Amino acid sequence: MRGPHNIWRLIRTGATLERTGAMGVVLDAFDAPRPLRIAARALGWPFKWLGYKGDPSMPPATRALTALGPAYIKFGQVLSTRPDVVGDELAVQLRVLQDKLPPFSTALAKAEIERELEIPADTIFSEFGEPVAAASIAQVHKARIAETGETVAVKVLRPGIEKAFRKDIDAFYFAARMVELLSPSSRRLRPMEVITHFEGVVLGELDLRLESASASEFAANTVGDEGFELPQVKWSLSARRVMTLGWAEGVPMGDNAAIDAAGHDRRAISERALQLFLKHALRDGFFHADMHQGNLKVAPNGNIIAYDFGIMGHIDEYTRRVYAEILFGFIRRDYKRVAEVHFEAGYVPADRDVDEFARALRAVGEPIFGMDATRISMGRLLSYLFEVTERFGMETRTELILLQRTMVVVEGVARSLNPQMNIWEVAKPVVEDYIKQSIGPRAVARDLARTAKVMARFGPRLPGLVEAALIRQSEPTPVEKPRTGRIRSIWMVLGLTIGIGTTLVIQAVF
């Protein structure tokens, strides 16, 4: 319940933020108004001695959230995807939150497996090792299936994690409500919306069946992608609190020395990583939204292996086309077209000047294109672009923020492998190919065919629609121009008939 009993949790939170030095960082990141700063200090400073000390070697915000526990760590991870809310500097700090939590015992993990799968873990697995990774919500064990001898990764939720998260989310809602009450001006920070977004993310990750489904869908989309592979979901050994995947054997993407020792071409891998991400985002509209080095490996055959599908991004087809046209316009340095796309998509209010917007975009793009290859950054471009569009009245779009954040992460992964990479040259063929496939004449024909299929479903209902329209016309009508109404209805029926007939022809052709 979001009541006063949450005050103790907030005091402990404020005390930890104060003790670790994170209070000022957080307040500055949110550009908190004076009343809110006073209230926050009042909750934190007098009780500073009650706060957790944390790890002094970490940055203040990361140190505080790690000390406060799993729900706070996950909250920080989610906020790291929202630089529009917390600012770029704090978002960068929060991205370093990795899977470094103390693990729970293997005995407890086995008990959870037996409870979920209704079979003892020692019966299912001939080997079941100690945790190889422990995160805020779950941990992973390396195991061997007794029946087949296959090596797998078994992900198990932390015992009692659902209850712990519900309590902390409850406190977060209480805090957000207090923020709005104490400082109405802070409502522009959308605290309740931020917590609601966080709650949705967490609830999705607390059901590993959903992550299994994401992994399965991602695998189906990318089955033909050369140089890319995913561990297979073992559905018979997965449930709400347990997820079993094939074991991903390879060297960590962040270990350049190991990659070189294995004889892999780091330059080729870096280019493939960026191009694969763009393909998944543009072609499929479904992409891995947490592609840091900790979730990537290089297989013995040189393939890139991705795992951990708790955070996936989704973009509808229309938005993908808009995004591709924006990128393509920047690649060609056609700022007028980039500006027009923003207006056509409704991202920028129609009452703004398109030419003035184009000049602002030129001011963003030209300095970046003037840099040498090692300094060109697509992530920086997108960051500047959002700053400009915000000045011209563009509202924040969450799906684009997640895309931008992932782009920055993938770009960082690619540059860590090959610092000399020219991001634009690598991205250009993928974007150009998507433009040809989605905006050219073939795309128009394909869109018409899809429309035809939808419209054709009305075919069996056409006689009923015509009959209903004729019956309505035969009934007495008010004095208002009955003839005009009858003519309009007849044209409507004729138009519907012609439209459905046309779409059926198109469907037959395509």
Residue 203 has pLDDT above 70, yes or no: yes
Region 401-424 average pLDDT: 81
Mean pLDDT for 468-473 is 73
Other CB atoms within 10 Å distance of the CB of residue 33: 17
User: What span, in angstroms and rounded, lies between the C-alpha atoms of 240 and 199?
Assistant: 18
pLDDT computed for residue 275 by the predictor = 94
Q: Could you give the CA distance from residue 90 to residue 189 in angstroms, rounded to a whole number?
A: 15
> pLDDT band at residue 50, thresholds of 50, 70 and 90?
confident
In this structure, of 138-152, 218-232, 325-339, 470-484, the range with the lowest mean pLDDT score is 470-484
Pairing between β-strand 228-229 and β-strand 304-306 as defined by DSSP bridges: parallel
- The yes-or-no verdict on residue 119 having pLDDT over 90 is yes
Contact 227, 145 (CB under 8 A): no
55 pLDDT band (50/70/90 cuts)?
confident
Answer whether 387's CB lies under 8 Å from 380's CB.
no
State the average pLDDT for the chain: 79
**pLDDT of 346 strictly over 50:** yes
Length of the chain: 510
Q: What is the mean pLDDT of the segment spanning 85-91?
A: 68
* Long-range Cβ contacts of 83-92 (<8 Å, 24+ apart): 83/383, 83/401, 83/404, 83/405, 84/386, 84/396, 84/401, 85/30, 85/189, 85/190, 85/194, 86/29, 86/30, 87/29, 87/30, 87/31, 88/383, 89/29, 90/25, 90/26, 90/29, 90/61, 91/405
Beta carbons within 10 angstroms of residue 132's beta carbon: 13
| Mean pLDDT confidence for 32-45 | 70
pLDDT of residue 509 exceeding 60, the answer is no
Output 75 or 281, whichever has higher pLDDT.
281
Least confident segment among 46-60, 137-151, 339-353: 46-60
pTM metric for this prediction = 0.72
Which two structure tokens, joined as six digits, stand for 185? 């001006």
What pLDDT band is residue 503 in, cutting at 50, 70 and 90? very low
Looking at residue 274, its pLDDT comes to 92
Average pLDDT in the 334-345 region?
A: 89
Confidence of residue 510 (pLDDT cuts 50, 70, 90): very low
In whole angstroms, give the CA distance from residue 309 to residue 214.
Answer: 6
Would you state the pLDDT for residue 474? 66
pLDDT in tens, 120-162: 999 999 999 999 988 778 999 999 999 999 999 999 999 988 8
Supply 184's token pair: 């109405």
Is 290 designated active site? yes
Q: 252 vs 255, 302, 306, CA distance in Å?
A: 6, 12, 11
Q: How large is the average pLDDT for residues 187-206?
A: 73
Task: Give dist(CA 330, CA 369) in Å, integer.
Answer: 9
pLDDT at 299: 95
Catalytic pick among 168, 225, 290, 308: 290
The arithmetic mean of pLDDT across residues 353-374, rounded, is: 80
54 φ/ψ sector (left φ>0, alpha ψ -120 to 50, else beta): left
Interval 367-395: pLDDT, tens: 776 666 666 666 666 667 667 776 777 66
Give whole-number Cα distances, 320 to 164, 281, 285, 317, 405, in Å: 38, 8, 7, 5, 16
The answer to whether residues 156 and 135 touch, using CB atoms and an 8 Å cutoff, is no
Say how far apart CA 443 and CA 436 lie, in whole Å: 8
> What number of helices (H) and strands (E) belong to the chain?
23, 10
Residue closest to 404 by CA, chosen among 293, 510, 277:
277
